[in-house]
Amino acid sequence: MSDDKTTHFGYEQVNVEEKAGRVRAVFDSVANKYDLMNDLMSFGVHRLWKRHTIEISGVRRGQRVLDLAAGTGDLSARFSGLVGPDGQVVFTDINAAMLEQGRERMLDEGRVGNLQYAQVDAQYLPFPDNYFDCVTIAFGLRNVTDKQKALDAIFRVVRPGGRMLVLEFSKPTIKPLEKIYDFYSFSLLPKIGKLVTNDEDSYRYLAESIRMHPDQETLKGMMEHSGFERCDYFNETGGVVAIHRGYKL
């Protein structure tokens, strides 16, 4: 973030106060086709990335989980089953349209009892200190205005012995893949977005926001700066996506 209180919205510089609203408008636009676009954009592989995130989360029966930027609830649904009736999953999103899509999906699937819903900005978490066993944020951190502030907030609400996981687009580790990925992101992805959601600009922003997101080692350093220890990450699909994990000891 620069000294004159601007930040990036994709490749565009905007006032800090504007970014959350701009991001909200993007997801208002795509909310009702979000799941379909995830399948199309990733050729279905996003399900494998999320499955791996669940597998390394260590979430067990009776635990408390906070799912930030939960979208339509892929992670929350799995966590709800893992923690059981004695556990708690807090399903959150900054965007009301996305939150409503997710809530309707959970109700349709009969997931009630251990799920709670809240419209939450990851930078300002309205939860007690040292409360959650696990906090996850999947494909949401890159949209946060101040990522370090969000990581600090997450650290505060994780209990000692707990952990956080960030599933996010990252930097390809294979050079030939990087060129293919760039062509796909900037030439094909906006066109798919236009065909499916009639919104080319939102998917152009998506491609740009991925390029502006910290790479694997930088994000690991930011997590350590917040206080997380034993931080590591797992590259998925040649580094197109990475799962970062850190513990509060």
Q: 122 among the known binding-site residues? A: yes
Q: 182 among the known binding-site residues? A: no
Q: 242 among the known binding-site residues? A: no
Closest CA to 75 of 52, 44, 107, 43: 52
- And the tokens for 180? 């293919």
Q: 152 among the known binding-site residues? A: no
Query: Could you tell me whether strands 158-169 and 241-247 are parallel, antiparallel, or unpaired per DSSP bridges?
Result: antiparallel
- And the tokens for 47? 């399900």
Strand extents, DSSP E, the chain: 6-9, 12-15, 64-68, 88-93, 115-119, 132-138, 158-169, 229-236, 241-247
Q: In sequence order, which residues have a C-beta less than 8 Å from that of residue 121 and are 6 or more positions away?
A: 20, 94, 144
Q: Which residues are annotated as a binding site for S-adenosyl-L-methionine?
A: 72, 93, 121-122
Known binding-site positions? 72, 93, 121-122
